[in-house]
Each structure stands twice: as C-alpha cells, then as structure tokens.
Amino acid sequence: MRYSDDAHGGWTGGYIKYGKNKPPITIVYVSRKTLDQPEGRPAYFESTWVEVATSDVTGKYIVGSQGSNVYSVEYIIVNPGKKYSFDESAERNSTDDGCKW
C-alpha cells in the first residue's frame, strides 16, 4: 500500500506486512534512479524505501521496476546488514491486498 501527501513536502510512504497476523511496518520513500531507458519502452528504475519500526530505521528495500512491473526486491536489515533478495515469480499472485512474493 502506498500513501502520498504533496501538501506537506511531498512525503510518500506505505507499509509492508509479513503474514496475516503480523502488524504492518511503515516504509518511507527515499529515492529513485533510472538504470535503463530503452527506446520505445518504459524506463527501468531502482527505488529505495526505508523501513521504520519503533521510530528507528530498521531496514531498507531496493525495488527494481519497469512500467507497472516489479522485477526484483532486495531487503537489507540495517543491523547486522544481512541481505535478502526476492525475484519475480510466475507463481506469485497479485490481489487487491497487494503482491505476494
């Protein structure tokens, strides 16, 4: 889920939810850079979001996308710096509740 507030400095945020019974974790948009600009196709972007839990930044998400397609997600836990990579899967389902990776 994503939320924006252009009236207050352009803040953009959302949340990540792990499993049905887990509380949502707030994420805040940090930046986006263009990695590829193929002619006649949408640009390929890498977006960075930080995870904020108990008022501390606890993780970072790096999302690779092109147009409406999300191709990869990398999650980095701030302390101890462990990385997890999630790639696009033909078996994942997209619902009104969000994507499942």
Residue type, 97: D
| Segments of the chain with pLDDT less than 50 | none
- The pLDDT score that the predictor gives to residue 16 is 86
pLDDT digits (tens, 9 = 90+) for 17-27: 888 888 889 99
Cα atoms in the 13 Å half-sphere on the side-chain side of 34: 7
